[in-house]
Amino acid sequence: MTGKLIYETVAAAFHAEGVRTLFSLTGDGNMHWEAALAALPGVRSIHVRHEHAACAMATAWARATDQVGVASVTCGPGLTQIMTALATAAQARIPLVVFAGEDPINAPWYNQRIDQAPLVTATGALYVAARSAKLTDHHVQEAFLLARSRRLPVVLGMPLDLQKQTAPEGSYTPSRAVMPDIGPRYPHPDQVAAAVARIAAARRVLVLGGRGAGAEAARAACIRLADLCDGALSETLPMRGLFHDQPRYIGVAGGFAHEVTREAFARADLVVAVGTSLTRHTSDLNTLFTPDQVIQIDDDPPVIRHGQVPARQHVVADAALALTAITDGLGAQRTGDWDVADYGGRVRSEPADTHPRPDGDSSLLDPRAVAVALSQHTPPTWAHVGAAGHCSYFATHIHGRGPHQFLTIREFGAIGNGLSYAIGQWAADPDRPVMLTEGDGGFLMHVQELETIMRYRMKILVCIFNDGAFGSEIHKLRADGVPDHGAIFGFGDLAAIARGFGLEGHVVTDLAQIPALARAFDDGDGPALWDIRVSDRIMAPTMRRQTSRAP
Helices (H), ranges, 331-461: 340-349, 367-377, 391-396, 418-428, 440-445, 449-455
| pLDDT value for 331 | 87
Determine the Cα–Cα distance for residues 282 and 495; give it in Å rounded to an integer. Answer: 35
How do the domains of the chain map onto residue ranges? 6-177, 189-348, 353-549
Residues of the chain below pLDDT 70: 1-2, 549-551
| pLDDT value for 550 | 53
Instruction: Give the alpha-carbon dihedral of 313, 319, 320, 323, to 10 degrees.
Output: 10
Determine the Cα–Cα distance for residues 487 and 483; give it in Å rounded to an integer. Answer: 9
Determine the Cα–Cα distance for residues 227 and 177; give it in Å rounded to an integer. Answer: 41
Neighbour count for residue 63 (Cβ, 10 Å): 24
**pLDDT tens-digit readout, 376-407:** 999 999 999 999 999 999 999 999 899 999 99
Indicate the class that CATH gives domain 189-348. alpha beta
| pLDDT value for 303 | 87
Determine the Cα–Cα distance for residues 411 and 302; give it in Å rounded to an integer. Answer: 16
**pLDDT tens-digit readout, 189-211:** 999 999 999 999 999 999 999 99
- Structure pTM? 0.97
Enclosing H/E stretch for 47: strand 44-47
Neighbour count for residue 512 (Cβ, 10 Å): 9
196 close to 29: Cβ distance less than 8 angstroms: no
Class of residue 481 by CB neighbours under 10 A (exposed 0-12, middle 13-18, buried 19+):
exposed
204 three-class SS: coil
CATH architecture of the region 353-549: 3-Layer(aba) Sandwich (3.40)
25 close to 54: Cβ distance less than 8 angstroms: yes
438 three-class SS: strand
Radius of gyration of the chain (CA): 25
Angle, to 10 degrees, between the axis of helix 319-330 and the axis of helix 216-228? Answer: 20
| pLDDT value for 549 | 67
3-state secondary structure 254-310: CCCCCHHHHHHHHHCCEEEEECCCCCHHHHCCCCCCCHHHEEEEECCCCCCECCECC
154 close to 143: Cβ distance less than 8 angstroms: yes
Q: What CATH topology corresponds to 6-177?
A: Rossmann fold (3.40.50)
Neighbour count for residue 178 (Cβ, 10 Å): 9
Pairing of strands 528-533, 460-466: parallel
Determine the Cα–Cα distance for residues 35 and 550; give it in Å rounded to an integer. Answer: 52
Neighbour count for residue 313 (Cβ, 10 Å): 17
